[in-house]
Amino acid sequence: MLADAKVDAIAWNGTSASWLGINRDRSLCEAITARTGVPATTSTLACIDAARALGAKRVGLVSPYTDDVQRRIAGVWAGEGIVPHAERHLGLRDNFSFGEVEPATIADMIRSVVADGADAVVILCTNLDGAGLALSLERELNIAVLDSVAVTLWRILGLAGGDNTVLERWGRIFQTVPVIN
C-alpha cells in the first residue's frame, strides 16, 4: 500500500535484525522491492551503512537492551565487519520503557563509550530519544553520533535521491552521501 502512494523508497524502522540476523532485513528489503519496485532499507542496515560510510573503526554501541541481546548484537555486527569497540546498555526488556529513558542517560552512555576509545557511536534502538543529542555531542566529543532513527532517514533519503545536507543539524552523517548498492 505504501507503493500506491508513489513513494521513492520504503524503510522499516526497526533494529531487531541486529540481534536476529542481518539477512532477515536483507530478505525483507528484497521482498519489498520485488513487490513494489521501490528500493527499501531498515534501521539496522542504515546503521551499518552509516558506520561504514564514516569509516568508523572503533564503534561504540549504546542501547537499552539486556545483556544477552547486546552480546548477540555484537556478534551479528562483527559478522558484518563492525566489531563494537565499547558498549553500554541498560538491561531493559520492554519497548515502552525504552521510550522513557532520559536523554541525559543516553548522553552519559555515549560519553562513556567515547571515553573507552570509540571513534563513532551508534544509538541502536528506534525508541531511544537520541536523534536530538547527536549534533551537540558530536561537537562536544568530536566523534560521529549515529542515532538509528536519524540514520534511517539519511539512508532512505539517499535511496530516494533526496538532499541529505538539508538535515545537517541532525548530525555529521547528513554531510555524508550514502553509498547506494
| Residue at 2 is within a domain | no
Q: Cα–Cα distance between 27 and 24 in angstroms, integer?
A: 5
| Residue at 128 is within a domain | yes
CATH code at position 117: 3.40.50.12500
How many C-beta atoms lie closer than 10 Å to residue 175's C-beta? 13
Which grid cell is 107? 548522553
| Residue at 65 is within a domain | yes
Instruction: Say what the pTM is.
Output: 0.93
The pLDDT score that the predictor gives to residue 32 is 95
Q: CB-based burial of residue 13 (10 Å sphere; 0-12 exposed, 13-18 middle, 19+ buried)?
A: middle
| Residue at 14 is within a domain | yes
What average pLDDT does the structure give for the chain?
94
Using 50 as the pLDDT threshold, list the residues of the chain that sit under it.
none
| Residue at 1 is within a domain | no
Q: Could you tell me the residue range of the domain that residue 142 belongs to?
A: 8-175
How many C-beta atoms lie closer than 10 Å to residue 134's C-beta? 24
Q: How many domains does the chain have?
A: 1
* Amino acid letter for position 9: A
List Cα–Cα distances, 63 to 27, 32, 47, 50, 95, in angstroms: 24, 27, 13, 17, 12
| Residue at 152 is within a domain | yes
The pLDDT score that the predictor gives to residue 152 is 96
The pLDDT score that the predictor gives to residue 179 is 66
| Residue at 3 is within a domain | no
The pLDDT score that the predictor gives to residue 176 is 82
| Residue at 15 is within a domain | yes
